Structure 1
Amino acid sequence: MSPSPGPSPCVVRVADDPADREACFAVRKEVFVVEQRVPEDLEYDAYDAGAVHVLAVREDGQPLGAARLLYGEAAGAKTGGEAGVGSLGRLAVVRAARGLGVGVALVRGVEDVARARGLTAVDLHAQTHALGFYERLGYVAYGPEFPDAGIPHRAMRRSLQAFGRARE
């Protein structure tokens, strides 16, 4: 993966090595467990082992954000088992980096990974306060609101075929 386009102050890469994966988990802990008070046993799950983790870092290597992509069998529970649909999840940006384009860079990075694996769409479960963020990136909400870890969410989807690689 190459540096993200546009004004984002980060580089987004697949977290292939153990240090990058640990950085992803540290960002998630800071955002979800500490800030949002999601119980740690709910934040980390069996899907983490088979997920593609994506990390956003500053040029100096400081972690700014993380996300994960589930695909194949792992995505089945999240996407209703539809072939070709991946599940973007656990998108987290550290407080100091919010509003700088890191979240957009992570979403587009996950979409690039999904395309590279032959997926045609990406689903996600968005916290309701973040619906506008994902809508601006081409995601469409569907279905009723539901709780996840005590936080209201909505399912959303974006076709990767119809839009191609978006540029911000």
Structure 2
Amino acid sequence: MSSANMQTPTVGLMSAKIGLPVQKYRKSDDNQLNIKVQEVYFEEPIMKLIVESSKPARGAAAYIRMSVFVLERGIAFRDEFDDKDSDSMVYAVLFDDKVPVATCRFETYNDHTLKVGRVATLKEARGHGYGRKVVSALEDKAKQMGFTHSLIHSEMDAVKFYQRLGYEITSDVFYEDGVPCVVVEKDL
């Protein structure tokens, strides 16, 4: 068999996102399969952040919140999904390729104050700054709209996260949906 007749199809491309090497193979004259790594690369995930009121944004946010609050944390379905969830609600959703991984929703507290609500990041996506990205996206939108202040009802185990974003505790502990919380606030 001449080298002109050898085929060199590529295998292993479907997992390039997670860093598997791209490989090529060819059969030798003695019909042995020889595999050689031609190149190795790691593709950065395609991250997309949306801040909008739409059915797709609401659906993506609901997927994350169902996973985190209802299934992982055990919060009652009816408590998690309230009357504020509508197609007109603005959601920030961060996608890792096509998978929604982090979200929060925009509520108007008063004429100058944003209330960030329902902040959640999928368990397997934590530790990458995705929660910070969605909160910051809502803060940026609020500033564009003339808001000067932001507040969040923070669960106690999330207070340090919000403090790293510049929020300060401004209330005593209270219970929301059976979970101990405090109000955290900051100027935008």
Q: Tell me the equivalent position of 1:30.
A: 67
Find the aligned partners of 1:121 and 1:11 in 2 and give their Cα distance: 26
Q: CA deviation at 1:9?
A: 7.4
Q: CA deviation at 1:92?
A: 0.5
What is the total number of aligned residue pairs between the two structures? Answer: 143
State whether residues 53 and 89 of structure 2, in contact with CA within 8 Å, keep that contact through their aligned partners in structure 1. no
State whether residues 51 and 91 of structure 2, in contact with CA within 8 Å, keep that contact through their aligned partners in structure 1. yes
Q: CA deviation at 1:45?
A: 1.1
Which segments of structure 1 move beyond 2 Å, counting only runs of 4 or more? 8-11
Query: Any stretches of 5+ residues in structure 1 without a counterpart?
Result: 1-7, 76-81, 161-168
1:61-114 alpha-carbon deviations (Å, 9 max, x no partner)? 21101100101xxx2xxxxxx430010000000011000110110110110111
The CA RMSD measured in Å over matched residues stands at 1.6
Q: Tell me the equivalent position of 1:129.
A: 157
Aligned-pair identity in percent equals 29
1:95-144 alpha-carbon deviations (Å, 9 max, x no partner)? 11000110110110110111122111110000111111100110011110
Q: CA deviation at 1:15?
A: 3.7
State whether residues 9 and 102 of structure 1, in contact with CA within 8 Å, keep that contact through their aligned partners in structure 2. no
**Range moving further from structure 2, 15-24 or 134-143:** 15-24
Find the aligned partners of 2:147 and 2:82 in 1 and give their Cα distance: 23
| TM-score normalised per structure 1 | 0.80
Where relative contact order (Cα < 8 A, 6+ residues apart) is larger, the structure is 1
1:15-60 alpha-carbon deviations (Å, 9 max, x no partner)? 44322220111100100011111111111111122421110101x2
Distance 1:62 1:122, change over 3 A: same
SS at match of 1:47: coil
| TM-score normalised per structure 2 | 0.72
* More strand by percentage: 2
Larger-Rg structure: 2
Find the aligned partners of 1:17 and 1:40 in 2 and give their Cα distance: 21
